[in-house]
Chains A and B, each alone.
Chain A
Amino acid sequence: MTNGKKLSEKSIGAVCAVISIGAFVILWYWGTQATQLGLLIPGPVDVLKAVGAGIVGKVGRHSILAHAGYSLMRVMIGFIIGSVVGVVLGLLMGWYRVAEAIFNPLFRIIRPIPPIAWIPISIIWFGLGEDAKIFLIFLASFSNTTLNSMAGARSVDPEIVNAARMLGASERKIFTTIVLPASVPNIFAGLQVAISSSWATVLAAEMVRSSEGLGWMIVAGMNNNDMIQILSGIVMIGVVGYILAIIMRRAEDVLCRWNKSGK
């Protein structure tokens, strides 16, 4: 019964999504065909055609998928380093007062600075290559993960910690077998924000200085006054960002199964 109900709710949601996206595309199409809007912006058919052509052929020196791949690789490297450091530092700060006393004042100063403010420094420090971009993405993912991991470690139920002590867990085991898993839902909330912030940052970094990637693609489009290239880049950015968010949500569903009632 409930299963059938869930299914029908889900399919209604899917139908609504198709209708709303469809209506938007039709409006866009109609606007570019029938009004002055066509002078400012290419229609959806042209953009989709350009995306298709970019996948088969090339935009600049690479195909669109290769550009997306470059951007994604940068995000992955920076995101993985940043979130590992963020989780470790955040849990330590949330659980051990000494760690908080040492790192938190510094962290509080660094945290509100948007990652893109570091672009000039990163170029001076690391040059124009990959390192500077990875550094920026590291910053983008690091501060969000740290903040949420810290909140997670702070909110561990003290009675659960007592239970672990009663069962013979050492202080180190309490950190690794209790504080860490208990913080996973908070950590994931941080990783969600971190991944979208990383994705935004890589594009900004690529727009400043790069010879490939989706950020390069839209800036190159601007320099050549090529609206179709800009829009096909934006479409790809949206698609990749959407896929990243879905992957993160799936990972959370699997790892936080215990946190949800039912199945």
Chain B
Amino acid sequence: MPMEQERKINHNIIVECKDVSKTFITPEGEHPVVKNFELEARENEFLVLFGPGQCGKTTIINMIAGFEKATVGSMKFMGKEITKPDPSRGVVFQSTALFPWMTTMGNVEYGLKMAGVPKAERQKRAQKYIDLVGLNGFEKSFPVQLSGGMRQRVGIARAYCNEPKLMLMDEPFGALDAQTRYLMQEELQRIWEAEKRTVIFVTNNIEEALYLADRILVLTNCPATVKKEYIIDLPRPRNLVSPEFLALRKEITSVLDSTL
């Protein structure tokens, strides 16, 4: 597959985290959530951070997004130190964090509105992403009128519409039922194939990680640090019951168990 090869030899580093630690100070004392964390995400790579429950994965995403600052260490995006949130780093939240008083169109075009893009132009561009995520016909619906899966489609379109270099996804399908979750994984893969971006995707679901990832970083439990790295070069779309898939699944699960 020449396309696959091309992606792999493209070594442009988009995100670089070096020796990053984060400690929260609580009344009970210091609480380390991330420790000596290292990460390099390359252009158009689908990188999955896979780890157990409450282990600081969200904190890592929040730091790369610019919502929180690392206690120590350096975090760079395209060679520059990350200091604050920026439209070039799109975030898809687990809670969706949609603006409930805005319609689908209003949510998706918000970023372009903030950038001062004229109305006709931004609606045209927003429509492209609304169509891409399969929400054609729901432009005028409010989030409360949409199902969980559809809301997260709006969240993906909203982040995509600013045409970011990097997409950060923090357990975006964590709140969905199993059936919808499978569907959304397929959809996300289709969207990503259509609009290639660097993606950093957080999940605690091994199947989801293996289905989507080019590379998986297995994280330890609190404080989070990289335990092991896997490069997944199974052909896409992946067969969830192929022997290779199941073997990887078994191996990664056993690594994870040993971290608990």
Contact A166 B99 (CB under 8 A): no
Instruction: List, in ascending order, chain A residues with CB within 8 A of B66's CB.
Output: 165-166
- Residues facing A in B90-137 (CB within 8 A) are 90-91, 93, 95, 97-102, 110-111, 114-115
Contact A173 B114 (CB under 8 A): yes
On whether A259 and B144 interact (CB within 8 A), knowing A167-B110, A178-B99, A181-B101, the answer reads yes
Instruction: List, in ascending order, chain A residues with CB within 8 A of B90's CB.
Output: 166
Contact B144 A258 (CB under 8 A): yes
Mark contacts of A149-173 with chain B using CB atoms, 8 A cut-off: 1 yes-contact digit, 0 otherwise: 0000000010110111111111001
Contact A184 B101 (CB under 8 A): yes
Contact A166 B101 (CB under 8 A): no
Judge whether B65 is part of the interface by a CB distance below 8 angstroms.
yes
Identify the stretch in B49-57, B79-87, B216-224 within 8 Å (CB) of chain A at 4 or more residues.
B79-87
Min CB–CB distance B219 → chain A (angstroms): 22
On whether A258 and B143 interact (CB within 8 A), knowing A160-B99, A166-B87, the answer reads yes
Instruction: List, in ascending order, chain B residues with CB within 8 A of A157's CB.
Output: 97
Query: Closest residue of chain B to A161, judged by CB?
Result: B97
On whether A163 and B97 interact (CB within 8 A), knowing A168-B86, A168-B114, A173-B114, the answer reads yes
Q: A160 vs B85: C-alpha distance in the bound complex, in angstroms?
A: 13
Judge whether A261 is part of the interface by a CB distance below 8 angstroms.
yes
Judge whether B69 is part of the interface by a CB distance below 8 angstroms.
no
On whether A165 and B85 interact (CB within 8 A), knowing A157-B97, A159-B97, A259-B100, the answer reads yes
Judge whether B158 is part of the interface by a CB distance below 8 angstroms.
yes
Judge whether B24 is part of the interface by a CB distance below 8 angstroms.
no
Instruction: List, in ascending order, chain B residues with CB within 8 A of A168's CB.
Output: 86-87, 111, 114-115, 162
Judge whether B89 is part of the interface by a CB distance below 8 angstroms.
yes
Q: Summarize A's interface: helix, strand, loop or mixed.
A: helix
Q: A12 vs B93: C-alpha distance in the bound complex, in angstroms?
A: 44
From A159, A257, A258, A260, B95 is in contact (CB under 8 Å) with A159
Min CB–CB distance A252 → chain B (angstroms): 13
Judge whether B142 is part of the interface by a CB distance below 8 angstroms.
yes
Min CB–CB distance B109 → chain A (angstroms): 10
Contact A162 B158 (CB under 8 A): no
Instruction: List, in ascending order, chain B residues with CB within 8 A of A160's CB.
Output: 97-99
Contact A167 B162 (CB under 8 A): yes
Judge whether B67 is part of the interface by a CB distance below 8 angstroms.
yes
User: In which size bucket is the chain A interface?
Assistant: 20 to 34
Instruction: List, in ascending order, chain A residues with CB within 8 A of B84's CB.
Output: 165
Contact B101 A258 (CB under 8 A): yes
Instruction: List, in ascending order, chain A residues with CB within 8 A of B110's CB.
Output: 164, 167, 169, 177
Contact A167 B158 (CB under 8 A): yes
Instruction: List, in ascending order, chain A residues with CB within 8 A of B115's CB.
Output: 168
Q: A234 vs B110: C-alpha distance in the bound complex, in angstroms?
A: 50
Query: Closest residue of chain B to A255, judged by CB?
Result: B101
Contact B67 A165 (CB under 8 A): yes
Contact B95 A166 (CB under 8 A): no
Judge whether A182 is part of the interface by a CB distance below 8 angstroms.
yes
Instruction: List, in ascending order, chain B residues with CB within 8 A of A164's CB.
Output: 99, 110, 114
Instruction: List, in ascending order, chain B residues with CB within 8 A of A167's CB.
Output: 87, 110-111, 114, 158, 162
Contact B97 A169 (CB under 8 A): no
Instruction: List, in ascending order, chain B residues with CB within 8 A of A177's CB.
Output: 110
Q: A181-B99, A260-B144 are in contact. List 18 more A-B contacts (CB 8 A).
A: A160-B99, A162-B67, A163-B91, A163-B93, A163-B98, A163-B158, A165-B67, A165-B85, A166-B89, A168-B87, A168-B114, A168-B115, A173-B114, A177-B110, A181-B101, A257-B142, A258-B101, A258-B143
A–B complex contacts, Cβ < 8 Å, 21 sampled:
A163-B93, A163-B97, A163-B98, A164-B114, A165-B67, A165-B85, A166-B89, A166-B91, A167-B110, A167-B114, A168-B86, A169-B110, A170-B114, A177-B110, A181-B99, A182-B100, A182-B101, A258-B100, A258-B101, A258-B144, A263-B145
Complex A-B, nearest 8 residue pairs according to Cβ-Cβ distance, in ascending order: A167-B111, A168-B87, A163-B97, A165-B85, A168-B114, A258-B142, A159-B97, A258-B101
Interface residues of A (CB under 8 A from B): 157, 159-160, 162-170, 173, 177-178, 181-182, 184, 257-263
Interface residues of B (CB under 8 A from A): 65-67, 84-87, 89-91, 93, 95, 97-102, 110-111, 114-115, 142-145, 158-159, 162
